[in-house]
Amino acid sequence: MTLLDDGWGVRSDSDLGYEHLDLEYLGVRWSRRWHRQESWARIRLAQALGSHHNRAAARIADADAVLDLSGGDSFTDLYGPARLAAVSAPKRAAIRADRPLVLLPQTYGPFTTRSGRAAAERIIRSASLAYARDARSHEQLLALAGPDADRPRLRQGVDVAFALVPRRPEAQVADRVEEWALDLTVGVNVSGLLREDAAHAQFGLAGDYIATMTAAVRGLLSAGARVLFVPHVHDPGGVGESDVAAIARVRERLTAAERDRVMVLPPHLDAAEIKWAVTQLDWFVGSRMHATIAALSTCTPAAAYAYSDKTLGVFETCGAGSQVVDARRSHGVEAVEAILASFHDRQSIRAQLTARVPTTVEQSRDQLSSMLESVLQWRDGAARVGSIA
């Protein structure tokens, strides 16, 4: 397995703890350093010339399939044309190499520009399989593929993170989290994507995001809970979209007494370790989609303070659509009241999740098995299906 990331060169990884997995990381990126092998301009040139001297072009040409996730929710022009170009690049590279492109369960759109939508339509129609991660997104997938598409290959699935198995982190961290969670403890994710004023215009937020999250934390503390801040995205130095920087913004607005009752989960934990930490909580609220999935998939009662429609679709998969508070329509007192109502209703939410989530987790695993069976059949000589449309 070759995992494309935005690093440099080829790097092996034997520390994941999975047996029988040969994994390497391969850097690819939009870069002005077009002479570097990692540059998509260089990769595209190598593909046009049929050259195997470029590592990425060679890996793609030799692949049994290219599996593409788009981060789960980045196949959209909501974040601007540069992000859409970046997530589209590996898809286009697979199509140029005539390798099977499998779009893993993800959100499709929204597409607010004609060019963005047209690009997405071309990619989807050229894929071999495409999965959406919820019913709402599946409807969008069908619309983008068009009426002449092979509908059985446009499949409704669930987010792959539901299948992620929690893993206890190092004892120094785990012991502290377990001790902290002995009393009533809630988790709070504050998204670094939304902390700056520019996000208000970009995503159409109704009001001051940091002020609303600060008020929510104060409300939870007043209700007798301890708070564990859960950063899910961390950029070194707290720059960019770092949740650590956003959490710091909230903490600095708290009183000294309030800060004594909050704790920040170390940002170096990986997704499986974060998921373990979330299982220790009595309730959770966050704006990062996969932070909330860590809660939902472990039947931990959760609410979302969301900035796009993608969140509602995933929560509805678990029968928890009513626990989504839309930051584009609600802020301040109104939003905090809705968040605290979810906290106070946590026992009934847990019961609802316990009834629905095991089936969703099983579906997440089954869809991956089904997809890999198709890839193995193509590899072992069975006729590969062509493009979806």
Per-residue pLDDT tens over the stretch 222-262: 999 999 999 998 876 656 689 999 999 999 999 999 999 99
Give the closest residue to 272 by CA, choosing from 167, 173, 187, 189: 167
pLDDT band at 18 (very low <50, low <70, confident <90, very high): low
Looking at the chain, the whole-number percentage of residues with pLDDT higher than 90 is 77
Give the closest residue to 84 by CA, choosing from 93, 74, 92, 99: 74
The structural domains of the chain, with segments of one domain joined by +, span 2-160+362-379, 171-344
pLDDT band at 14 (very low <50, low <70, confident <90, very high): low
How far, in Å, CA of 191 to CA of 203, rounded?
13
Per-residue DSSP letter, 6: S
Task: Dig out the tokens for 364 from the structure.
Answer: 């997440």
The continuous run of DSSP H or E covering 9 comes out as none
Give the closest residue to 326 by CA, choosing from 347, 341, 353, 304: 304
pLDDT higher than 80, residue 284? yes
Per-residue pLDDT tens over the stretch 53-83: 899 999 999 999 999 999 888 899 988 888 8
Give the closest residue to 299 by CA, choosing from 284, 287, 313: 284
Per-residue pLDDT tens over the stretch 327-362: 999 999 999 999 999 999 999 999 999 999 999 999
The pTM of this model reads 0.86
H helices present in 260-386, as ranges:
271-279, 289-296, 310-317, 332-344, 346-379
Tell me what the mean pLDDT of segment 140-161 comes to: 94
Is there a contact between 229 and 190 (Cβ–Cβ < 8 Å)?
yes
Overall fold of domain 171-344: Rossmann fold (3.40.50)
How far, in Å, CA of 295 to CA of 349, rounded?
12
Is there a contact between 31 and 38 (Cβ–Cβ < 8 Å)?
yes
State the virtual CA torsion across 243, 246, 247, 251 in degrees, nearest 10: 170
State the virtual CA torsion across 188, 189, 192, 196 in degrees, nearest 10: -40
pLDDT higher than 90, residue 145? yes
R_g over Cα of the chain: 21
State residue 17's pLDDT score.
Answer: 58
- Provide the 3-class DSSP secondary structure of residue 238: helix
pLDDT band at 298 (very low <50, low <70, confident <90, very high): very high
State residue 381's pLDDT score.
Answer: 72
How many other C-beta atoms lie within 10 A of the C-beta of residue 146?
12
How many other C-beta atoms lie within 10 A of the C-beta of residue 198?
9
For the sheet with 24-27, list strands across it: 2-5, 24-27, 10-12
Give the closest residue to 289 by CA, choosing from 43, 76, 113, 60: 76
Q: 384 φ, ψ to 5°?
A: -75, 135
Residue partners of 138: CB distance under 8 A and separation at least 6: 132, 154, 155, 156
Is there a contact between 61 and 99 (Cβ–Cβ < 8 Å)?
yes
Work out the mean pLDDT of the chain and round it to a whole number.
92
Q: What is the DSSP string of 144-166?
A: HH-TTS-GGGEEE---GGGGPPP
Q: 117 φ, ψ to 5°?
A: -65, -40
Is there a contact between 361 and 298 (Cβ–Cβ < 8 Å)?
no
State residue 33's pLDDT score.
Answer: 80
How many other C-beta atoms lie within 10 A of the C-beta of residue 262?
19
Q: Peptide bond preceding 100: is omega within 30 degrees of 0, i.e. cis?
A: no
Residue found under tokens 């509602």 = 312
How far, in Å, CA of 273 to CA of 75, rounded?
26
How far, in Å, CA of 288 to CA of 129, rounded?
27
How far, in Å, CA of 179 to CA of 175, rounded?
6
